[in-house]
């Protein structure tokens, strides 16, 4: 079975890449993991590893590319994806971070929006502002502000609102 053989080879290459990463041989880790992802393009764990190694190696263009690919892979652990998006945003990879946050926001959830949805929307609003995508920024800010105005419906109590908007002045200025 060709697919099974590709996956087995991908796992072996991924393992070799992890060993190289532990040795801090990031170039070899990237090479091996890149070959693994070519064998099994849907391997989320390999994409996460590639992204992390690229960030450690200071290869920002590659990190951006793997972040965007990770956002395109169906499914995935939304908690892990949120952490990756946060890390990408902190390092200035705003477009890749926004794409991953959008995927997290679109993931199936309950009927009522979770508090984390509002945190992610706030991050998206900031990222889209930085990316000069003001329409998208305004859309997310409007949803956050609406939740702030109706805390009984959104589940945002006073403590959570204060945490969400640690210093609300700049956010309200951005939102207009």
CB < 8 Å & 24+ apart, contacts of 146-154: 147/113, 147/118, 154/113, 154/115, 154/118
80/85 Cα distance (integer angstroms): 9
Average pLDDT for the chain? 83
Distant-in-sequence, close-in-space partners of 2: CB < 8 Å, separation ≥ 6? none
Q: Is 39 in contact with 13 (CB distance < 8 Å)?
A: yes
For residue 167, name the pLDDT band (cuts at 50, 70, 90): low
Kindly state the average pLDDT of the residues 53-81: 81
Confidence of residue 168 (pLDDT cuts 50, 70, 90): low
Residues 126-156: tens digit of each pLDDT: 999 999 999 999 999 998 888 888 777 777 7
């Amino acid at each position: 079975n060709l697919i099974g053989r590709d996956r087995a080879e991908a796992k072996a290459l991924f393992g070799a890449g992890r060993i190289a990463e532990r040795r801090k041989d990031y170039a070899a880790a990237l090479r091996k993991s890149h070959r693994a992802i070519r064998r099994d393009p849907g391997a989320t764990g390999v994409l996460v590893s590639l992204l992390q190694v690229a960030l450690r190696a200071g290869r920002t263009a590659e990190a951006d590319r793997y972040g965007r690919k990770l956002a395109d892979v169906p499914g995935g652990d939304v908690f892990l994806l949120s952490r990756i998006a946060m890390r990408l945003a902190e390092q200035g990879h705003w477009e890749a971070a926004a794409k991953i946050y959008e995927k997290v926001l679109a993931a199936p959830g309950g009927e009522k929006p979770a508090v984390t949805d509002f945190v992610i929307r706030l991050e998206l609003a900031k990222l889209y502002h930085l990316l000069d995508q003001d329409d998208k920024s305004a859309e997310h800010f409007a949803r956050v502000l609406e939740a702030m105005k109706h805390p009984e419906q959104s589940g945002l109590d006073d403590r959570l609102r204060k945490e969400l908007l640690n210093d609300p002045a700049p956010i309200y200025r951005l939102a207009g």
